[in-house]
Structures are given as C-alpha cells and as structure tokens.
Structure 1
C-alpha cells in the first residue's frame, strides 16, 4: 500500500501526478537502439518538475536497474517519486520512422493501491494508468475523492495495442472526461474514440459533459482549445523534428503549469478558468505549443526548463 505525503513549501500548490513510468526502448530509423526512462504520466511530472512545480508522482516501478534509472531521472528534475513495487519495470518499445514519429509496443505491469492521499491542490491522471486494470480502478477512486477540491486534469493518450475491450475503454474514458476540470487529447485519440467524427463537435460534447476546458492537439496542425466562453485555434511552432517522444506530455505538463499560474487550482478552478478570455487562453496554449516544439527538437522525452521556455529565445 502506498502512502502519499506532500512536502511542498507553505503556500505552494500541492501537485500530484498518478500514472505509469516506463522504460522507452527506442529503435532509431538508422538501426541503433537506445533505452531511456519515460511513460506518459512520468513525462508530465518531469515537465512540471522542469518548470519548478515540485510535483509528486505516484507510480509503479520494478526493483531493477530500469526502476532505479527512472527514479534518478525524475528526481534530477525535482520530482518526488512514490512507487509501488512490481515484478519488473514496464517497457515501451518505440520504432521511430524517418520523420521521428513513434509506433509503440508495450510490456506493462500496472497496479496501484493507495492507503491515503493527503490534501492536494492539483491531480493529473491519464494514459495507460487510467484504463488498464487493475490500477485503473484506483485511479478512478482518486479522481472521485479529489473532485471539487483540486484541479483535476486528464489526458486519455490512448494506446490501441493495449486495448482488449474497446467499448469498455471508451466508457472509462468518457466517465473520466465527465469528472475532470480539464481534458487534453490528441487528434489520434479522438479518431480512435469517435471514428469519423468532427473534432470540434466532440470538444463541444465533452465541454457540455463537465470539463471547464477542452484542448485537442493536432501535431503540426496546431491545437484547438474550447472553454465555455471561447473557442481558440493556435498554430504549431515550426521546428525541425528529431522525434515526437513526449511531445503531448510536455504540452500537458505546460498546460497544468500555466493553469496553476492563473490561480486555477484547489477549489477555485471553475471561477479561475471561466474568467479567462480568448486572448488569455490563446497565450496559454501558445506557451504549451512552444514547449512541445522544444521537446520534439531534441531526442527523447526532454521537456524544457522554465528558463528555456520563458527566458531564452527559442529558434526553430
């Protein structure tokens, strides 16, 4: 059983990310093979750590070298790791094409048992951890316990190769969408969940079901953001793509950071997001796009620091 304890400074928002940590086994287009720590939720926590948010990550890891490497990788960026121990550290084998796009094959051991979660101001869930049993049920319980008390964000980040029952997975995703404050999905997620449907219509439906903000990313085609008062389209930042590993997770982590900066955490989420106008949301999403562009311009899940994102000039 895992006990989560927050250790942040007084007054600093208490941030918890719950989900998988993996080892990415990268098969490059040139035939070389490289291993790096990763996993969608771990990448989100890493991004928040690089941006100075001191996040906690509740995850599962093997007591093996891969688990030790992943823990050190996260801790180096200011992430506190709470790991339930499993037989092995899960892996994602990524085959990269000539454009740097990744096609994944997974070997996953995901379970989660939570004894107690102390008061938090922000909770992020998503990807494999939100839909793969037996851990998915524990994730749902955490979401239910944090509703109306914290900013809750969700990124479905569907992995079709792990889906055994598509209808059940779709229902679980929709149930979480209905419960969270912010949902970020990719155009690939929408195409899998709702084949042939228009993304903007899906965003409208999701917004009507509960969230305060819905964001759909479309790679080089930019992003769509929709709140109850605004619909915004933001272009992607032109860059030379090395690979796309971690791009969506970097976008998600930067979005969380930006929302916290706007005061959208704790019990004030609805009021804070509803007060944002079109310009404010557009600027927020543009920061996320710039952050993702930095990540894809270098190998692996390597999100920017706050200095790189906001203080230095980024050149594509």
Structure 2
C-alpha cells in the first residue's frame, strides 16, 4: 500500500522514447541508434519518483489522456510507490510524449516534446491532511498557487528550469531555478540575482547550472556546490532528480548547503542510465559516482 503522501508533485508527466546515438544528427542527417528505451518522464513526475526512492511519501497530481501512453505513465509512477490518486485521466486530452536523442560519451541530449495538459486547482483541492509540501514545475504552478489560497499552510517548492509564467515568489519555501533562468529574471550577476529572489519572497534559493554545480544562498552568503564528477550515459532528467533529492533533504531538515550537496550526488548517480529514472538511487543504497 502506498503511504499517505507528505509531498505532492504537480505538473508534467510524459512518456519518453529515448535513443542512444554516436553523435547528434544535423539537418537532413540520418543516424542509427544503438539502443531505444521507453520510460516515464516529466519534471514534476521524475521529481516524484526521486522522492519516493529516497523514502519520502509522495503523490503526483497532473493530467493524462485516456490513451495507452496515459496508462503507461500512471503505471510507471505507481510501480515506484508514487500515489496517483490525484493524477486525472481526461478523455479530451492526449498524454504528452517526448522523443529524446542522447549522444554517447557526452550524455548530451536533444528533446522534442509535446505540451503536457495542465492540472487545475480542483485537481488538488482534496489533498490528504498529511500533505505539507507541493513541488511544481511550469505546468503545475498555476494550479498549486490557486490551491494554496484555500490551504495557506502548504509549503511551495518551485522548479523554474522551464520558465514559469506569472511567477510570484511571495511565501515560496524553496525556489530552484536554473542559473540561466534566475539571471534572466533578476539580473546577470548570480549573487545579486540570488539575493533578489530572496527579497522577492523566496525563503530558500538554489540555482542549478548542470555540470557546473549549483549556487546556494546561505544567509547572505553565496555558496558554490560543485557537481559530482561522473562519466554520464545520459543527462536526461538529472535536473529533475536534483530537485526531488533537494526537496527530500529539506523535508528531513537538512541545512540547505548540505541538501544541495546530497542532491548533486543523487543527480550524478541518475546519469548512469539512458533514461532519467532507473538509476536514481534508493534511500538504502550507497551513493556511488562510478559508472557501472
């Protein structure tokens, strides 16, 4: 039986078809893939799987179509112990799908995706009493903001990697943009931008920058948390895994710099597989940064 969630992730869920190629093709080029994998994806959905693997009771709220991909997406979450009570099936929607090309050696990827159907406030109105946090991506933000009006005690965590429209940081407990998005919103200097996000209302601010690591606002100081060095099979979903692991550590009371370092290690581990989920470690696993 799935535990009653303390975190609900709200937003995008996809079914991804991932191909491993020697080099990403150019225009009108044809390449032969060595391997194809079909797996679940989506920023909020992958964060939910990460939270579940790290032992945090978690649910997912979003929208899938009444189609085979929707059933696959739901089953993939449930197989990881994610509560899908709030995952709505809409007969008028089509489940989002992505095609991903991953380059051997570098782990770089090119993504073509369809838009996920957006949940609405009523999808998360009847949250279990034990839910303390909502974690949202660009697709789930508006619904979560509306829901919090009716339940102001909820804590909000925002993944602002794919930029969130009409962002309001007032009262946000955890704000985790990419450094590129942060500086686009608040100015080119990272330290100034981090402090500006705090001044706009965010209680905790962590900006990610891929293989360059993350910048953490610790009081008024900016602390650089380096990425864990790894030879990646694929970087697909690594940022989403980082967000889930970061929130898992915060929920358990870790200081923010320590939480970011733990999240970096979990995200590095996730790059050992072609998809964005299957190599995410479980709470009982040692965190290894060596490639299997």
TM-score, length of structure 2 as denominator length: 0.83
- CA distance, structure 2, for counterparts of residue 76 and residue 205 of structure 1: 40
Cα deviations by residue, 1:49-75 (Å, 9 ceiling, x for unpaired): 111112110111122221112112111
Distance change >3 Å, CA 294–CA 248, structure 1 → 2: same
- CA distance, structure 2, for counterparts of residue 223 and residue 48 of structure 1: 19
1:163 — aligned with what?
none
- CA distance, structure 2, for counterparts of residue 300 and residue 54 of structure 1: 23
Residue 178 of structure 1 contacts residue 206 of structure 1 at CA under 8 Å; is this kept in 2? no
Distance change >3 Å, CA 281–CA 304, structure 1 → 2: same
- CA distance, structure 2, for counterparts of residue 36 and residue 65 of structure 1: 13
- CA distance, structure 2, for counterparts of residue 241 and residue 232 of structure 1: 25
1:245 — aligned with what?
236
TM-score, length of structure 1 as denominator length: 0.77
Aligned with 2:108 (options 101, 105, 113): 101
- CA distance, structure 2, for counterparts of residue 108 and residue 182 of structure 1: 25
1:62 — aligned with what?
65
Unpaired runs of at least 5, structure 1: 1-6, 131-135, 160-168, 263-275
How many pairs align?
269
Aligned with 2:252 (options 257, 261, 265): 261
1:71 — aligned with what?
74
Q: What does 1:153-192 correspond to in 2, within 5 Å?
A: 153-158=157-162, 172-173=166-167, 175=168, 177-190=169-182, 192=184
1:121 — aligned with what?
132
Residue 47 of structure 1 contacts residue 250 of structure 1 at CA under 8 Å; is this kept in 2? yes
1:283 — aligned with what?
258
Is structure 2 residue 288 aligned with structure 1 residue 296? no
Distance change >3 Å, CA 125–CA 143, structure 1 → 2: farther
Secondary structure in 1 matching 2:245: helix
- CA distance, structure 2, for counterparts of residue 214 and residue 282 of structure 1: 10
- CA distance, structure 2, for counterparts of residue 312 and residue 103 of structure 1: 27
Cα deviations by residue, 1:259-315 (Å, 9 ceiling, x for unpaired): 1111xxxxxxxxxxxxx7xxx43322111110000011222112211122xx45543
Aligned with 1:141 (options 134, 146, 152): 146
Distance change >3 Å, CA 109–CA 42, structure 1 → 2: closer
How far residue 26 of structure 1 moved from its aligned partner, in angstroms, is 2.1
Structure with greater helix percent: 1
Aligned with 1:226 (options 195, 217, 222): 217
Distance change >3 Å, CA 25–CA 192, structure 1 → 2: farther
1:202 — aligned with what?
193
- Give every structure 1 segment of 4 or more consecutive aligned residues whose post-TM-superposition deviation is greater than 6 Å: none
Secondary structure in 2 matching 1:141: helix
How far residue 109 of structure 1 moved from its aligned partner, in angstroms, is 4.2
Distance change >3 Å, CA 210–CA 190, structure 1 → 2: closer
RMSD, aligned CA: 2.3
Residue 207 of structure 1 contacts residue 228 of structure 1 at CA under 8 Å; is this kept in 2? no
How far residue 218 of structure 1 moved from its aligned partner, in angstroms, is 1.2
- CA distance, structure 1, for counterparts of residue 95 and residue 17 of structure 2: 12
Segment of structure 1 superposing worse, 95-104 or 80-89: 95-104
Unpaired runs of at least 5, structure 2: 23-31
- CA distance, structure 2, for counterparts of residue 91 and residue 143 of structure 1: 29
